[in-house]
Amino acid sequence: MAVTSGQEVLFNSLIIGTLDNGEPSKEAGYTQAMIDNVVKGIVLKRRGLPQNIANAMAFLQSDAASWITGTELTVNGGGVYKSKMPAS
């Protein structure tokens, strides 16, 4: 897409990790033990906040990112995890 878009459009992807969104996690079936297990695999030892994602998006939209295109920005606190949710 970045090649096709040329100079007119910057085309980047934002890849996000697990977020601490409060009650919706518990409503979705995550237990505290499941959440703690996920956090063990994150270098920064916490789940991200929606503001962390907003900050990354703001950066990609700013003049500071004017020479960045065709890339994936991973915002995950240094962790990769596999979902512990039961398959439905």
- What's the CATH fold of domain 2-75? Rossmann fold (3.40.50)
User: What pTM, to 2 d.p., does this model score?
Assistant: 0.77
The per-residue pLDDT for range 32-54, each reduced to its tens digit, is 999 999 899 899 999 999 999 99
Contact between 40 and 86 under an 8 Å Cβ cutoff? The reply is no
Mean pLDDT over 15-32 rounds to: 90
HSE-CB for 86 with a 13 A CA cutoff = 3
Q: To which H or E segment does residue 13 belong?
A: strand 13-16
Q: Is the pLDDT of residue 85 over 70?
A: no
Range among 8-12, 55-59, 76-80 rated most confident: 55-59
The per-residue pLDDT for 22 is 86
Q: Which residue has the higher pLDDT, 88 or 57?
A: 57
Mean pLDDT over 61-82 rounds to: 90
